[in-house]
Structure 1
Amino acid sequence: MEGNITEGLRYVGAGLATLGMIGAAIGVGNIFGSFLDAAMRNPSAAPQQSGNLFLGMALAEALGLFAFVISMLILFAA
């Protein structure tokens, strides 16, 4: 009985850890949406800001990947 409770709680913890992936998806959407708004207002400044765009995207995606790795560690680590 006790083993089933701990296994169930591991699944709950892994599910909660994947909520960070939702935040990463929202963050990437906000980054690209804001970039497109700014690029439409001032197209000549868009090439200078593309480095910031990709840096922000990479950081947001890294947080999503970290959340995924943590959830896999919760599920499969002893």
Structure 2
Amino acid sequence: MDMTVFRTISLLLMFGAFTAIAIWAFSRRPKKDFEEASRLALDEEDRREYERRSREQEEMRAGGADRDGQEKE
């Protein structure tokens, strides 16, 4: 088998894999999973935790604390 045949077979296999993944990604079946995953970033508990940490960091900055949480002199 020469290199041209190997390259042609590889090209066809990769094209087939790409086509299969594209069909799977755009089919209706995984839509529910994709929608659920897209909501993970907006999960209420995570958002509240992020806001709480942001407030704490802002209070530390406003209170004159440096990055280690110790007061500046």
Q: TM-score, normalised by structure 2?
A: 0.35
Q: TM-score, normalised by structure 1?
A: 0.34
Q: Relative contact order, CA 8 A, sep 6+: which one is greater? A: 1
